[in-house]
Structure 1
Amino acid sequence: MISLRKINTLLIIIIVVMLLNHAVLSILYLYGVISYSPNFQITGRRLFYPVVAHIIISLYLYFKDKSRGVNRYPNLISDTNQQMISGIMIIVFATLHILGYSFNPLGGQSTFHFNLYHFIVDNMLFISIAMHLRVSIPKFMISFGFLDKPNAYLDFKRKVNWAVAAILIFLILGEVMYYIGGALW
């Protein structure tokens, strides 16, 4: 039987693929390559169920390990704390992101205040997701047994940090070009 940790890891893979799809569509829109599409909302909605399942399983595993005094990876305590805090931040900023675009969708008339709201919330959501993924991706590689050599975790984590930072910069620049650049023209 497959373990709950591996199911959670598979959910993470699904979520990352769906997030990349949502992010690519958003980036193409922000950079002016494509026009607005209802697919933005559809891909966002499809993220909801795997994310909720991931949250429930993660919390269950976290509290189960805490109650038994289990520390599966003793050197990863700060990473686990960062993962928990960034996960909470994702929930907060994803909720604000959804609410913001529900009240003032892309492509419609917008005020300076809504643009500023979208800019701040979206960037905080990007940062929260980046902080979460920089810990989650190496940990799920451990769960599948891919990082079993000495220093493999640290080497892989360093590469993930660079990749996540590059994507984060690209997303933030897109937001700057769209919101700040649009306000200047």
Structure 2
Amino acid sequence: MISLRKINSILVIIMIIILLNHAVLSVLYMYGFISYSPSFQVTGRRLFYPLVAHMVISLYLYIKDKRRNVKTYPKLISQTTQQIVTGILIVVFVALHIFSYMMSPINVSLTFEIRLIHFFIDIGLFSSIILHLRVSVPRLMVSFGFLESKDSYSNFQNKWDVCVAVILILLVLAEIIHYWVIM
């Protein structure tokens, strides 16, 4: 029988694939390589159900571990706290992201204030997702048995930290180019 942790890991993989699709299309649009397409909204909506299932399973597993008084290492506690905080921030920023684009669609001329609001909401969303994935992806690799020794986990974590920093920089640059250069 497959465990809830494995199911949660599979949900994370599904969400990463959908999120990558959404992000790549959006970044290509923001850099001016492609025109806007309603499929951006469709890929964003496809994240909803796996995200809700991931949240429910994660909360259940967290509460279950807390009840069992599982002894953990301080670094693991800080990473779990980071996941919880960034998970909550992701939900908040996703709601703001959806609401802000519903109120001020992409294909209309935006005032400076609206562009600034979109910019800060998107940067908050990107940062929350990146910080969440910074912890989640190495744990995902452990869950599937790709990182078995402590050294392999540390090495992967260091390389992954660089990778997520580069991704965040590319996303911030895309936002700057889109809202302050192209528009």
Give the TM-score, by structure 1 length: 0.95
Report the Cα distance in structure 2 between the residues aligned to 1:73 and 1:100, rounded to whole angstroms: 40
CA shift, 1:75, in A, is: 4.1
Question: Could you tell me which residue of structure 2 aligns to residue 10 of structure 1?
Answer: 10
Q: Flag structure 2 segments of 5+ consecutive residues without an equivalent.
A: none
Deviations 1:151-181 (A, max 9, x none): 1111111111111111110010000011111
Question: Is the contact made by 1:134 and 1:161 (CA closer than 8 Å) also made in structure 2?
Answer: yes
Q: How many residues align?
A: 183
Question: Is the contact made by 1:147 and 1:153 (CA closer than 8 Å) also made in structure 2?
Answer: yes
| Cα RMSD after superposing both structures | 1.2
Name the aligned partner's letter for residue 7 of structure 1: I
Question: Could you tell me which residue of structure 2 aligns to residue 173 of structure 1?
Answer: 173
Deviations 1:105-143 (A, max 9, x none): 111232222111100000110000000000000011111
Question: Could you tell me which residue of structure 2 aligns to residue 62 of structure 1?
Answer: 62
Local SS of the residue matching 2:182:
helix
Identity across matched positions, percent: 57
Local SS of the residue matching 1:151:
helix
Question: Is the contact made by 1:65 and 1:71 (CA closer than 8 Å) also made in structure 2?
Answer: no
Judging changes above 3 Å, is the alpha-carbon distance between structure 1 residues 157 and 143 closer, same or farther for their aligned structure 2 residues?
Answer: same
Equivalences for residues 102-117 of structure 1 within 5 A: 102-117=102-117
Equivalences for residues 1-185 of structure 1 within 5 A: 1-71=1-71, 75-182=75-182
Name the aligned partner's letter for residue 67 of structure 2: S
Q: Flag structure 1 segments of 5+ consecutive residues without an equivalent.
A: none
Question: Is the contact made by 1:30 and 1:175 (CA closer than 8 Å) also made in structure 2?
Answer: yes
